[in-house]
C-alpha cells in the first residue's frame, strides 16, 4: 500500500441528475471565444479560426449549490455562462452541464497585453461553478443559454450561435490531449459578459439542463 507524506486531496466531483453516483473530475479544459458576438466584444475577429484552449485545475469546480468566494487580486471579476461537456469512458461525451467560467478580467487584459499565460486570470481557486450533470445526448443543440445577475438578464443567446459546435470542440480538444474519463470541457461563452460584486446572485441556464445558482461570497 502506498504511503503518502500527507493525505491526498479528495477527488472533486459533480452530482448527476437522477443518479446517486458522482462524476469524478479529472481536469478542466476551456475554449476561448467560441461565439462570434463575444469574440467581437473582446476586440477580436470572429472568423472561424482554430479554437484555442486554456485550463483550470480540477479542484476549481464549485458544486452542490456552494457559493464561490470573490477572488483575491482582482477588481474586475467577470461571469461567462458556458455549456460544459463531460467526458466519460472511451473518451466519449457522457453528459452535459451548465458552468460559469469565472474570470479575473483585469489580470487577463494584462496577460494579453504582455503575451503572458492566462492561469492567474482563469485557473484560480473556485473559478468553475458547475451545475449537476445530465447524462446522455445534449437535449437540444440549439437550446437557449442565459445568465442573470440579481434577476437581471446579462447574457442571452442560443447554443446554435457557437462558432465550433460542442462535438467539434471535443474533437479539437482530442487532437491536443488524450481525453480521459472525468475531463470537463467548457465550450465558450456568448456575448454580454460583465462584472460581479460580492453578494451578487447568479443564475445560469441552458434549456434542458439543470440550472446553476450561486451567490458570490
> Would you state the cell numbers that stand for residue 18, as one nine-digit string?
437522477
Please answer whether residues 210 and 216 qualify as being in contact, where contact means their C-beta atoms are separated by less than 8 angstroms. no
Please answer whether residues 109 and 43 qualify as being in contact, where contact means their C-beta atoms are separated by less than 8 angstroms. no
Q: Which is nearer to Mn ion, 55 or 189 (CB)?
A: 189
Q: How far is the CB of 150 from Mn ion (least distance, A)?
A: 21
First to last CA, the chain: 40
| Residue 127 makes contact with Mn ion by CB under 5 A | no
Stretch of 142-150, 167-175, 183-191, 201-209 lying at the interface with Mn ion (CB under 5 A): 183-191
Stretch of 40-48, 78-86, 87-95, 197-205 lying at the interface with Mn ion (CB under 5 A): 78-86
Among 29, 33, 80, 129, binds Mn ion (CB under 5 A): 80
Phi, psi of 173 (to 5 degrees): -60, -35
Please answer whether residues 185 and 168 qualify as being in contact, where contact means their C-beta atoms are separated by less than 8 angstroms. no
The closest alpha carbon to 123, from 147, 101, 97, belongs to 101
Q: Which is nearer to Mn ion, 23 or 35 (CB)?
A: 35
Q: Other CB atoms closer than 10 Å to residue 74's CB: what's the count?
A: 19
* x/- track of binding to Mn ion for residues 189-208 (CB under 5 A): x-------------------
> Would you state the cell numbers that stand for residue 80, as one nine-digit string?
461567462
* x/- track of binding to Mn ion for residues 89-118 (CB under 5 A): ------------x-----------------
Q: How far is the CB of 32 from Mn ion (least distance, A)?
A: 6
Q: How far is the CB of 106 from Mn ion (least distance, A)?
A: 16
Q: What dihedral angle (degrees, nearest 10) is formed by the CA atoms of 202, 209, 161, 80?
A: 30
Q: How far is the CB of 80 from Mn ion (least distance, A)?
A: 4
Residue ranges binding Mn ion (CB under 5 A): 80, 101, 189
Amino acid at each position: 500500500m502506498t504511503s503518502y507524506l500527507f493525505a491526498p486531496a479528495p477527488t472533486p466531483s459533480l452530482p448527476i441528475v437522477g443518479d446517486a453516483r458522482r462524476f469524478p473530475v479529472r481536469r478542466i479544459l476551456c475554449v476561448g471565444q467560441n461565439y462570434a458576438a463575444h469574440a467581437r466584444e473582446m476586440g477580436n475577429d470572429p472568423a472561424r479560426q482554430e479554437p484555442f484552449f486554456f485550463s483550470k485545475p480540477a479542484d476549481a469546480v464549485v458544486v452542490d449549490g456552494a457559493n464561490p468566494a470573490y477572488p483575491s487580486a482582482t477588481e474586475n471579476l467577470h461571469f461567462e455562462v458556458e455549456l460544459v461537456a463531460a467526458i466519460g469512458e472511451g473518451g466519449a461525451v457522457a453528459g452535459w452541464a451548465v458552468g460559469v467560467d469565472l474570470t479575473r478580467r483585469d489580470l487577463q487584459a494584462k496577460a494579453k497585453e504582455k503575451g503572458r499565460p492566462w492561469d492567474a486570470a482563469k485557473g484560480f481557486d473556485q473559478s468553475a461553478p458547475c451545475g449537476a450533470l445530465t447524462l446522455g445526448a445534449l437535449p437540444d443543440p440549439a437550446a437557449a443559454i442565459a445568465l442573470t445577475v440579481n434577476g437581471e438578464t446579462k447574457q442571452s443567446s442560443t447554443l446554435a450561435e457557437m462558432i465550433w459546435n460542442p462535438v467539434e470542440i471535443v474533437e479539437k480538444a482530442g487532437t491536443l490531449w488524450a481525453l480521459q474519463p472525468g475531463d470537463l470541457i467548457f465550450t465558450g461563452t456568448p456575448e454580454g459578459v460583465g462584472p460581479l460584486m460580492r453578494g451578487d446572485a447568479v443564475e445560469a441556464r441552458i434549456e434542458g439542463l439543470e440550472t446553476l445558482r450561486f451567490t458570490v461570497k
